Amino acid sequence: MTREALIDQIKQKRSFLCVGLDTDIKKIPKHLLDYEDPVFEFNKQIIAATADLCVAYKPNIAFYESGGMSGWQSLQKTCKEIPSDCLHIADAKRGDIGNTAAMYAKAFFEEESGLAFDAVTVAPYMGEDSVTPFLSFPGKWAIVLALTSNKGSLDFQYIQDRTGVHLFERVIQKVNAWGTTANLMYVVGATQGEAFKLIRKQAPEHFLLVPGVGAQGGSLEEVCAYGMNKDCCLLVNATRSIIYAGTGKDFAEQARNEALQLQKAMEAELIKYGVIG
């Protein structure tokens, strides 16, 4: 999916919602355990209930890797279930170098793996050769960790140099030179508030993938106030608040209700900032 196509989807759906598919078999409704592949059945019904309300889906790869071969099969089937008008994001946070990074990119981007994601999250700590292999695939995106929403983000990301510039700002400055706004995004946690101002100084036109709205307590209004630009260029992810909204046989309907509330709030923000009429 190109940058232009993604912006068009945001405007058409009046939404910049990304639904996380961090599917834990211990948390899905019990009746699904009667299916041959309970994880896939759960994902399939969540996707069917929310596809018109969101522009991206983001399976967290750890939830599938932990299941071994059957977990990968669930992931492959889930990828095929995600509509083509939604961005397919592999939340893998890969961060190795050289040929290894190239193999990770091949695994997540190429059809022969059975996945063919549009984008993958990447950790930049090891530098250029841990990121650029993901940028060599035409039409694909690397989503680089910049400023995350976890407690441990304070350990390194906010370290300042002698000029007062934070490490996360330096990361963005450096990574910007390796790609473009057409193949690079950044992960910025919704709980970071006014730090979005600093992010936008370094990356005014890049898409930002924003986890942390919903169960983690991030504010959609604050994210938009500091992070939205003329094309929106935000993908706000919600996971637990949507996929685990219900525990009964109507779980997909409950998920849709939660997604719809968030989509309506996003629509209001898009109108407020002039992205849509």
The residues carrying an active-site annotation are 93
Instruction: Check if the beta carbon of residue 186 is closer than 8 Å to that of residue 203.
Output: yes
Instruction: Check if the beta carbon of residue 59 is closer than 8 Å to that of residue 75.
Output: yes
Which residue from 81, 157, 144 is spatially nearest to 114, judged by alpha carbons?
81
Q: Would you call 94 helix, strand, or coil by DSSP? A: strand
Neighbours of 216 (CB within 10 A): 17
For residue 72, what is the enclosing H or E element?
helix 68-81
Q: Which residues pair with 184 in a beta bridge?
A: 142
The dihedral formed by the CA atoms of 54, 57, 60 and 63, expressed in degrees to the nearest 10: 100
